[in-house]
């Protein structure tokens, strides 16, 4: 159950600080590089929903900046925000030399440090499940979006097909924990597994967006349901 997971912000930031140096290569390796394709598809979908060519985007839980960088390469005005300073240091190095360069800010989604109606879009890639007080975070996201602005979330899900789900869960549960132990971060990767399995998905997550005041909540399944792209508008 999700309520049994400890999502205290200090604990979460410390956990991600501890795995920052290994995070990218483990994630890309575990997904066999498919996560890169998910991000490209996610950004293309978001681009079609935006009414401006060079949008201002807040990339929440930006981590090591994969999504931040990909959006900045489109010459979008991107701000990355995360509670892990070490993860963002990796992101800053990754984005060095880009123009316009993304801005990285240390902060929490529970109290986003920007005025009302600041952004055309807010994105979250594989981070929403780590937010502790999610209704409060969604209210903050809605506050900083401009009228008509887009919330776009990329998150792990779980295949609905029983055969595909069984294969996926066998790989995901065991391989992730084994890799975590191999790099000396067993508890962190154990948490990542549990957070994915406990997180609401599909219609349940869309219902949360609707309850938070967003409109037109929908989802798009990726790779047979391993991940999902979600969107909603202010």
Predicted local distance difference test score (pLDDT) of residue 175: 75
Predicted local distance difference test score (pLDDT) of residue 232: 98
Whether the CB-CB separation of 66 and 167 falls below 8 Å is answered with no
Residue position matching structure tokens 């979006």: 145
pLDDT(221) > 60? yes
Residue position matching structure tokens 């989604």: 109
pLDDT(230) > 60? yes
Q: Which of 138-147, 172-181, 218-227 has the lowest mean pLDDT?
A: 172-181
- Across the chain, the runs of DSSP E, i.e. the strands, are 56-60, 77-82, 103-106, 119-125, 145-156, 215-222, 227-233
pLDDT(182) > 80? no
Predicted local distance difference test score (pLDDT) of residue 44: 97
Residue 180 neighbours by CB distance under 10 Å: 21
| Cα–Cα distance, 28 to 24 (Å, whole number) | 6
Residue position matching structure tokens 């979250």: 124
Whether the CB-CB separation of 225 and 34 falls below 8 Å is answered with no
179, containing H or E segment? helix 162-182
Select the CATH number that applies to the domain covering 2-158+200-233 from these four: 3.40.50.150, 4.10.520.10, 3.30.1960.10, 3.30.43.10: 3.40.50.150
What average pLDDT score do residues 115-128 get? 97
User: Cβ contacts of residue 79 below 8 Å, gap of 6+?
Assistant: 56, 57, 58, 59, 102, 103, 104, 105, 114, 119
Inter-CA distances, 47 with 129, 136, 145, Å: 24, 27, 16
Q: Check: pTM over 0.75? Answer yes or no.
A: yes
């Amino acid at each position: 159950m999700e309520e049994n997971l400890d999502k205290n912000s200090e604990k979460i930031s410390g956990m991600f600080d501890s795995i920052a140096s290994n995070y990218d290569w483990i994630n890309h390796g575990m997904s066999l590089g498919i996560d890169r394709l998910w991000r490209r598809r996610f950004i293309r979908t978001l681009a079609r929903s935006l009414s401006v060519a060079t949008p201002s985007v807040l990339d929440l839980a930006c981590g090591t900046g994969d999504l931040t960088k990909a959006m900045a390469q489109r010459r979008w005005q991107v701000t990355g925000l995360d509670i892990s300073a070490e993860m963002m240091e990796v992101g800053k190095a990754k984005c060095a030399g880009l123009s316009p360069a993304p801005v990285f800010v240390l902060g929490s989604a529970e109290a986003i440090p920007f005025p009302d109606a600041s952004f055309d879009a807010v994105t979250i890639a594989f981070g929403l499940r780590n937010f502790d007080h999610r209704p409060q975070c969604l209210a903050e996201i809605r506050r900083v979006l401009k009228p008509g602005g887009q919330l776009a979330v990329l998150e792990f899900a779980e295949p609905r097909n029983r055969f595909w789900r069984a294969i996926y869960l066998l790989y995901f549960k065991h391989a992730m924990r084994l890799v975590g132990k191999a790099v000396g971060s067993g508890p962190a990767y154990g948490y990542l597994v549990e957070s994915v399995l406990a997180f609401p998905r599909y219609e349940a997550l869309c219902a949360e967006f609707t309850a938070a005041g967003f409109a037109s909540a929908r989802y798009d399944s990726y790779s047979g349901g391993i991940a999902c792209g979600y969107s909603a508008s202010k």
